[in-house]
Amino acid sequence: MCKSTGLCGILSLLVAGFAPSYNEWLGSRRLPFVFWSSLMTSALMPTYARLPVAFRRGTGAWLEDTDGRHYLDALSGIAVCGLGHAHPAIAEALNDQARTLIHTSNLYEVPLQEKLGGWLCKLSGLEQVFFANSGAEANEAAIKLARRYGHEKGITRPEIIVADNAFHGRTLGALTATGNSKAQKGFGPLPEGFVRVPYNDAAAIEAAGNKNTVAVLIEPIQGEGGIRIPDNGYLKALRALCDQHGWLLMLDEVQAGIGRTGLWFGHQHEAISADVITVAKALANGVPIGACIAGGPAAGILGPGTHGTTFGGNPLAARAALAVIETIGHDDLLARAATLGERILRGFQDALKGTPGITEIRGRGLMLGIELEAPCPDLVEKALDAGLLINVTAGSVIRLLPPLILTDDEADQLVSTLAPLIDETARTQAGQRPASA
């Protein structure tokens, strides 16, 4: 990396100045990628601890880096590319829409947005949709909706109950709702109006409720928090509490939604309805979009002038999302996600049977977590070296979010590649010789 930002700026200007002649000169020559990447990233805020790899193309569940090496993507861009990379239906939709109309703003009617909203209402059983650009923005819309709902009931200091270890985004409202003190550090004072309780504890939510409570905001499965799957009946209990007290039940489906768990939304495994659902990530397979879906007492709360966005739900993003929904339905990918998830889960349970230091192997559909007793951040780079993309979250949980289009052979390859690495790490942590040694 450049030691001086000023020097990097000068070098960048010089590179830009002779770019045409450089392209002619380059020919068969090639300077090391690390040189150019360091030059280019010097202009970026260092908000990410990036892995030492860059990708130039993808196909299905595979990515190819700038050196031509291939990687099985078991992370899907953090649950974004549910249909994998370069899916023909998405590519065709984007290409056609880009040649037709990309953006007009929400000052005007957007027919594709109306169509997409209709589909999301049909799939969720709710009534209205506000489109944004990300999961954080969708959650901000939900937070504003809940507060306005409270004010309309005469509650001047409305409160939303949220959970420990939750993750709802990094904008200030969503960050405050997020149960991660490390992510919040240095950004105070944070907004008031949030009450935190343990996850998977309906009694704690009932005890925390008071005259200012207006909503409960919960993930049906905690993703960033470590693939935490609540007990059966937890969401039903929350639905009953909200009905009893007149609170809104708001479910953050940003990571669990759009087919990842084997149903359109994670909460549908308990056959309940929500008042507000937020989605993003997989909705447009990589094109930025988010949605706040509302129904029942939450419908009609946000009117003209109460909220807005320039880009949200523009023709390009809406067209991509419609292609995603159509493809999932046409290719029966909900059932496929459920079947693949069971195959991968059983594969790891069998392969890691008897390995010490493993707390739990859990999952629902293609949202899987393998929890170790000790932190295991080094597993990410070990997997990368083995041609596999994974993630470790909550310190000690290996998070797997492979695409819904994974083949059986690719699912088996995921297990056969990663299981020995996990075994080696867990046994080393336990002071044992790895089984492969």
Nearest to 217 by CA among 126, 261, 307, 278: 278
Cα four-point dihedral sign 149, 154, 156, 157: negative
pLDDT band at residue 5 under the 50/70/90 scheme: very low
* Catalytic option among 73, 130, 131, 167: 167
Give the H/E segment covering residue 58. Answer: strand 55-59
What domains sit in the chain, N to C, each tagged with a CATH number?
A: 88-330 (3.40.640.10), 333-429 (3.90.1150.10)
User: Bridge partners of 159?
Assistant: 213
For residues 404 and 366, the answer to whether their CB atoms sit within 8 Å is yes
Q: Does the annotation count 252 as an active-site position?
A: yes
Question: Could you report the per-residue pLDDT of 367-387, keeping only the tens digit for each?
Answer: 999 999 999 999 999 999 999
Task: Tell me phi and psi for residue 195, to 5 degrees.
Answer: -120, 125
**What would the pLDDT profile of 337-351 be if each residue is shown by its tens digit?**
999 999 999 999 999
| Active-site position among 130, 131, 252, 265 | 252
Taking alpha carbons only, the member of 357, 321, 344, 316 closest to residue 404 is 344
Q: Name the most confidently modeled range: 8-17, 21-30, 253-262.
A: 253-262
Asked if 167 is an active-site residue, the reply is yes
pLDDT value at position 433?
72
**Is residue 409 scored above 90 in pLDDT?**
yes
If we measure between CA atoms, which residue out of 74, 17, 107 comes closest to residue 308? 107
User: pTM above the 0.95 mark?
Assistant: no
pLDDT, one tens digit per residue, over 156-209 is: 999 999 999 999 999 999 999 999 999 999 999 999 999 999 999 999 999 999
Backbone angles phi, psi at 403, to 5 degrees: -70, 155
Q: Which of 131, 281, 348, 423 is catalytic?
A: 281
At residue 431 the predicted structure's pLDDT band, cuts being 50, 70 and 90, is confident
Tens-digit pLDDT profile for residues 43-53: 999 999 999 99
- Determine the Cα–Cα distance for residues 77 and 198; give it in Å rounded to an integer: 29
